[in-house]
Structure 1
Amino acid sequence: MKKSNYAITMISLTLIIALGLGSCCSPKQQNIQKEVFGTLSTGETVDLYTLTSTTGMKVKIMTFGGALVAIETPDKNDSSTNVILGFDNLSDYENNRVFFGALIGRYGNRIAKGKFTLDNVDYQLVTNDGENHLHGGEKGFDRVVWQATPIENAEAPALKLSYLSPDGEQGYPGNLNVTVTYTLKGNDLHLDYEATTDKATPINLTNHSFYNLAGEGTILDHELTINAAAYTPVDSTLIPTGEIVAVEETPFDFNTPTAVGARIDSVEGGYDHNYVLNTGEGLQLAAKLKDPKSGRYMELLTTQPGLQFYSGNFLDGTQSCGQRVYNIHTGLCLETQHFPDSPNQPQFPTTILQPGETFQSTTIMRFGVHK
């Protein structure tokens, strides 16, 4: 009888320990961590989520602007560092609107003079880039606090962000429901965008991360490949002229790996141009970026028709993070998108979302190392 009670007790203890370990050490709980990042001047609390993959890659996302704060990946010597530009405190994000890592909308890039006509109605958006509308206006999606829902998964932790953009916000028609889900699968970071509306409205969603695969210094020696035979030239205010021009035999040709700085002096003001991707239906390779020194590379896959390549021309050293000072060309952007000013350019792919439709797009940042 004593032996039987002892056996039952040991079984019970084993179950309790197993359940206890399961509740505190489960991979589902370990690979998503939440902390308070700070408080905005409006009094809103901003949370920071850290996703950790099965390979050890870490991605940090805050609810202000739905922004990527850090992407930590190893180099050829297995030394990890943050490969995107950002700040280490919330106040710098609030007071320096440089779009570091942020979600952009309703309309990424520019709309000429903030004007467009839709269904015989003229709309005037907020203008915040000279006479043009840029990245959603004065209060784009990068300036709002998104609602976050962590999705625990032992193999692929995810964070779903949601925002309701009300009818008339920054001049746009319709109540727009937007969700963006970040999913970390191994060394792949997936961004899945969805949106619905109750009135026809333009939409162009993207992420505005600044990449530096070395973690410091200039990106001029990074090797860039862009899968595009053409680009859209712009006027002096960076609005497309409407032309689609071949990149062959121009400084805009990155169809073979080319150092970012190899021909940048031939482009007035540096690169800030939309590329017409050679992509068909579904997810396709848009670009590849490699840092020869660290061995890190990133492949960018997307379902979108365009890619904005921006060489960090307006970084001027007034922003910094710790010892990292963000001077010109210390980061570059590769923004998957529709074309700029599409609501005024009928020859470009349409960006109008209709009621009853669902906007969907996917972009994947795939990181690796050449040893």
Structure 2
Amino acid sequence: MKQVTVKNKHLSLEVLEYGAIIRKLKFRTRANSWTDVNVSLESTQDYLNDTLAIGACVGRYAGRLSGGNLELDGKYYPLTHTEGITLHGGDRGFSRQYWNLQSATESPEKSEVTLTYRSGHLEEGFPGILDVTVTYTLLENVLIIRHEATTDRPTVVNLTNHTYFKIDSQPLISHYQLQINALNRAETNSRRLPTGQLPGVASTTYDFLEERPLGDFKMDTPFLLDSNRDFAARLTSAVSGIRLTVHTNQPGLVVYTPEGFAGICFETQNLPDAPRFDHFPDARLNPGETYVNESHFVFESLR
């Protein structure tokens, strides 16, 4: 399994060709110490058996699609599914594929890793040959993740990165301060599928409009981001003094805090099951168009 490590003065990044996985991400604090800021597995081989898409590029459609099929232009495409749910692109999706490591460059200011993957027509049931590029850029104290995709026929695309952030060495993350600039969330049912309702978050347990402790509240929650936002989300640890701020061009943010280990995912993306709902942001990609998901993860040392 090929891997590459690049760094600049502020960040160090290790990427695997398998799943385009971010395996190691380190941030250099004001105290001049390199601090791990993501959850990683012990061995590269452990990722072959991972079921949580740790650090991976997720697609062709991140999140859940319902019904076991996709309807486009009056035609139905059977999708790989489990009990009617296609999760993160199907059985393998993009997170369990070997990508092509195209290039890796390094300099004190800017370092970059680029990987590509071609998803064949009807792979996991999705129409169209999809050519995907993911570029990881270290620009000063910012990790930029840019997904791009083109297709030879109409399809749907929703890509994201599935890194679990952990910005200190404590065994729990309940003390993290969290802020999310989203006035609404996508309501989900017992199967974590959107109902189509977009209730407001104000004065509910999902209200992180003002920074507050995460606590023991577990989320696998799609938020519809405020179009006038300064940023999508912000996470701060008083223990390490590290703050992570997330910016994205995407309309949605899925915040996921799994059971079993301490970490938090900020999945910048479209809303799950968007093709089922006309009032959700459009997930369609046509020939001649380029899908772009660009997200910036800004790390700061507050002391």
Query: 2:235 corresponds to which residue?
Result: 289
Indicate whether 1:272 and 2:220 are aligned: yes
Indicate whether 1:258 and 2:190 are aligned: no
| Structure 2 Cα separation of the partners of residues 224 and 231 of structure 1 | 16
Higher relative contact order (CA 8 A, sep 6+): 2
| Structure 1 Cα separation of the partners of residues 207 and 21 of structure 2 | 30
User: Cα deviations across residues 117-160 of structure 1 (Å, max 9, x unaligned)?
Assistant: 111001221114x4311001111110011111224253311111
Indicate whether 1:117 and 2:117 are aligned: no
In the TM superposition, residue 108 of structure 1 has moved relative to its aligned partner by 0.2
| Structure 2 Cα separation of the partners of residues 91 and 113 of structure 1 | 33
Indicate whether 1:340 and 2:272 are aligned: yes
1:216-235 to structure 2, matched below 5 A, reads 216-235=170-189
User: Partner amino acid for 1:142?
Assistant: S
Aligned partner (choices 22, 30, 52) of residue 7 of structure 2: 52
Checking the alignment, whether the CA contact within 8 Å between 2:6 and 2:104 is kept in structure 1 is no
| Structure 2 Cα separation of the partners of residues 254 and 311 of structure 1 | 15
Checking the alignment, whether the CA contact within 8 Å between 1:74 and 1:296 is kept in structure 2 is no
1:21-100 to structure 2, matched below 5 A, reads 46-55=1-10, 57-75=11-29, 77-100=31-54
| Structure 2 Cα separation of the partners of residues 209 and 162 of structure 1 | 18
- Give TM-score, length-normalised by structure 1: 0.79
1:324-339 to structure 2, matched below 5 A, reads 327=261, 330-339=262-271
In the TM superposition, residue 361 of structure 1 has moved relative to its aligned partner by 2.0
Query: 2:92 corresponds to which residue?
Result: 139
1:241-256 to structure 2, matched below 5 A, reads 241-256=195-210
User: Partner amino acid for 2:221?
Assistant: H
| Structure 2 Cα separation of the partners of residues 97 and 150 of structure 1 | 28
In the TM superposition, residue 279 of structure 1 has moved relative to its aligned partner by 2.5
In the TM superposition, residue 78 of structure 1 has moved relative to its aligned partner by 3.4
Indicate whether 1:355 and 2:277 are aligned: no
Checking the alignment, whether the CA contact within 8 Å between 1:50 and 1:60 is kept in structure 2 is yes
In structure 2, the CA distance between the partners of 1:239 and 1:351, relative to structure 1 (3 Å rule), is same
In the TM superposition, residue 91 of structure 1 has moved relative to its aligned partner by 1.9
In the TM superposition, residue 191 of structure 1 has moved relative to its aligned partner by 0.8
User: Cα deviations across residues 164-200 of structure 1 (Å, max 9, x unaligned)?
Assistant: 0000100000000000111111110111111100111
Q: Larger C-alpha radius of gyration, 1 or 2?
A: 1
Checking the alignment, whether the CA contact within 8 Å between 1:233 and 1:240 is kept in structure 2 is yes
Checking the alignment, whether the CA contact within 8 Å between 1:188 and 1:367 is kept in structure 2 is yes
SS of structure 2 residue aligned to 1:170: helix
Aligned partner (choices 145, 154, 161) of residue 207 of structure 1: 161
- Give TM-score, length-normalised by structure 2: 0.96
Q: Percent identity?
A: 33
| Structure 1 Cα separation of the partners of residues 195 and 248 of structure 2 | 25
Checking the alignment, whether the CA contact within 8 Å between 1:304 and 1:336 is kept in structure 2 is yes
In the TM superposition, residue 75 of structure 1 has moved relative to its aligned partner by 4.3
- Residue ranges of structure 1 left out of the alignment (5+ in a row): 1-45, 265-269, 316-326
User: Cα deviations across residues 202-259 of structure 1 (Å, max 9, x unaligned)?
Assistant: 1000000111101341111111110111101100100011011110000101111111
Query: 2:250 corresponds to which residue?
Result: 304
User: Cα deviations across residues 26-76 of structure 1 (Å, max 9, x unaligned)?
Assistant: xxxxxxxxxxxxxxxxxxxx2111111133x21111110001001111346
Spell out structure 1 runs of 4+ moving beyond 6 A: none
Q: Please report the RMSD computed on the Cα atoms of aligned residues, expressed in angstroms.
A: 1.5
In structure 2, the CA distance between the partners of 1:164 and 1:284, relative to structure 1 (3 Å rule), is farther
In the TM superposition, residue 116 of structure 1 has moved relative to its aligned partner by 2.3
Checking the alignment, whether the CA contact within 8 Å between 2:184 and 2:224 is kept in structure 1 is yes
- Residue ranges of structure 2 left out of the alignment (5+ in a row): none
Query: 1:21 corresponds to which residue?
Result: none
Give the number of equivalent residue pairs: 302
SS of structure 2 residue aligned to 1:228: coil
| Structure 1 Cα separation of the partners of residues 183 and 201 of structure 2 | 6
| Structure 1 Cα separation of the partners of residues 230 and 79 of structure 2 | 33
In structure 2, the CA distance between the partners of 1:156 and 1:75, relative to structure 1 (3 Å rule), is closer
Checking the alignment, whether the CA contact within 8 Å between 1:183 and 1:190 is kept in structure 2 is yes
